[in-house]
Structure 1
Amino acid sequence: MSVLKVIEILGNSTVSFEDAVQNIITEASKTVREIKSVYIKDMQVTVDKNKISQYRVNAKVSFAISEEMDN
């Protein structure tokens, strides 16, 4: 049986939305194992002097829950 947990994470980048998502995966993988998928819930940008200064992503990260059993 497979059970997944979902957490919501905010990520940002000065490069692109794709880079913001990669930053989420990179940082989450430091403490979360077996990431299965990332669902992009929302995207936005901040603007400075009529240019995009930051890309922001609100994402849901799904990962497997593994339970070690003593037998």
Structure 2
Amino acid sequence: MSEASVYRVVELIGSSSDSWEDAARNAVREASRTYQDLRVAEVVMMDVLIEDGDIIAFRTKLNLSYKSAAD
């Protein structure tokens, strides 16, 4: 029988004062401190926080998959 790969998915929200790309990068960077063997990040949603008519933060929601040892 061939070995099967198992992947887990976590939902993350990254933020940045500069861009959605930096927000995604921040989320992946932080996730890499906890999860091993990161594989794919799917952008699910992007939004901004607004204060007094100005954008104060870009936020990117990701579904991030990582390879998991078979249970």
For the aligned pair, the TM-score class normalised by the smaller chain equals: 0.7 to 0.9
Percent of residue pairs bearing the same amino acid type? 30
Unaligned runs of at least 5 residues, structure 2 = none
User: What are structure 1's unaligned runs of at least 5 residues?
Assistant: none
Give the Å deviation of 1:57.
Answer: 1.2
1:27 is matched with 30
Between 1:49-58 and 1:27-36, the stretch displaced more is: 49-58
Q: Residue 50 of structure 2 is aligned with which of 47, 51, 54?
A: 47
Encode CA deviations 1:8-53: one digit per residue, 9 max, x unaligned. 1111100100000000111000010010010111110012343321
TM-score w.r.t. length of structure 1: 0.85
Query: Root-mean-square deviation (CA), in Å?
Result: 1.6
- Paired residues in the alignment total 68
Q: For the residues of structure 2 that align with 1:12 and 1:18, how far apart are their CA atoms?
A: 9
